[in-house]
Amino acid sequence: MDGEVTTESLVEISDLTFGYDGRRTVLSGINLNIPRGKLVAIMGGSGCGKTTLLRLIGGQVRPSQGYVKVAGRVVHELDAEALYRMRRKMGMLFQFGALFTDLSVFENVAFQMREHTGLPEELIHDLVLMKLHAVGLRGAHALMPSELSGGMARRVALARAIALDPMLIMYDEPFAGLDPISLGVIGQLIRQLNDALGASSIVVTHDVHESLQIVDYIYFISEGRVIAEGTPAEIRDSSDPWVHQFVWAEVNGPVPFHYPGSAYREQLMERSGA
């Protein structure tokens, strides 16, 4: 990373290749680093392998080649017990929140504390309210998920993701489906909580505008490869055609509007039998 090379990495991905069940390769030759204390975005078109990267970091799937290291340990080499301990130090905000629908806001945030710690209920009570206060929803602790707006549900999911003060927080499309106000609130919370916790964060997102305002570094993935990287300023000023098209939402560029096919005129002539 430009300007970041001396910073210790919490996550190191080296020469990583992955494909599902021997089918087409999803990721090929991926190299990237997530420094401690930094907020990094992974961006790219739908189906390029962004969410698969999060699954590899969390140990849900294993690479075909290369490795993912978290806190100096190769994830796919960990046994079940060591992987379980590693995951306790990770927080995950799933796309659209994925709250437990039959549990209240309070119970959703308390779930991990009860599952992974032996803390007394009195302390869990205070910690849950503290996490909800951090996302502005302490007053909503008794509500059910069905009573929340989309933005509120995402904030509760964020409180749940930081319940155990993780060293690494991963966000899978945290801005999807949010109105502009909620989107701005979630973006600022992601930045503030990362800094307050001293954590490292990975944001997988399509939202260029919001991401460029809050992240420290960006990786662009296309067709399973890292094709560009840089700071927000470098990305905004990039002359790379693909990056420029993605950042400025241009119709014409390396990513074509039309799906590949034969010439339109030829196809029409075939139909007419001419």
Is 176 strand, coil or helix? coil
Domain contains 123: no
Domain at 2, CATH number: 3.40.50.300
Domain contains 24: yes
| Span 241-246, average pLDDT | 76
> Is pLDDT larger for residue 240 or for residue 154?
154
Domain contains 72: yes
Confidence of residue 6 (pLDDT cuts 50, 70, 90): very low
Domain contains 162: no
Tokens representing 99 are 């709250």
Domain contains 206: yes
- What pLDDT is attached to residue 249? 66
Domain contains 189: no
Q: Alpha helix locations (H) across 42-145?
A: 50-57, 80-87, 105-116, 121-134
Q: Which of 5-19, 108-122, 135-149, 222-236 has the lowest mean pLDDT?
A: 5-19
Confidence of residue 267 (pLDDT cuts 50, 70, 90): confident
Domain contains 147: no
- Total tally of structural domains belonging to the chain: 1
Domain contains 13: yes
Look up the pTM and report it.
0.82
CA dihedral defined by 213, 217, 222, 225, rounded to 10 degrees? -170
Quote the domain boundaries for residue 61: 1-89+167-176+197-274
User: Is pLDDT at 121 greater than 60 in this prediction?
Assistant: yes
